[in-house]
Amino acid sequence: MKRPILIHPDPRLKKVCTPVSDLSDDLRALADDMLETMYDAPGIGLAAPQVGVTRRLIVLDCVKDEGEEPRPLVMFNPEVVASSDETNTYEEGCLSIPDQYADVTRPKLVDVRWIDRDGNEQNETFDGLWATCVQHEIDHLNGKLFIDYLGAMRRQMITRRMQKLKREQARA
């Protein structure tokens, strides 16, 4: 089931999320809903707070090439356990901040540990776009948005655009 995506500014997007202590069928269903919502948007990552749930859960799939097999990942309690000194800069966007993009510099490689939907611990090294995406989504779990990496004036300008968008949506 597709879920509505919260638009910045929304206080729920700034909350630090609660760890998942036990995997329930409800949480697995939430993960499935999040994947459906992400693909429909369309996006390459989505964090639980973006659909109003303050739990440590993200989904991502950075496969973009036509004909390439999708690789949906569901991560409960993901954490970066190591990162490279080398960095990459990508133009990031966010489903909670539609049509706004900015260059953000992050570590090029990250080692991430998480619990999969079956309750098994996983570890993987991510590179390039995958590394950027997983760090962006983990930031959401810590109440941080990509615009928090920008200067104050640029951040305020984007926030004002989002406030205007929300007013227009409320009138529609």
The residues carrying an active-site annotation are 137
Quote the CA–CA distance of 18 and 77 in Å, as a whole number. Answer: 9
Quote the CA–CA distance of 72 and 106 in Å, as a whole number. Answer: 22
Question: Closest Cα partner for 102 from 94, 112, 110, 92?
Answer: 92
Question: Closest Cα partner for 123 from 135, 115, 113, 131?
Answer: 113
Question: Closest Cα partner for 59 from 81, 80, 37?
Answer: 37
Amino acid of residue 157: M
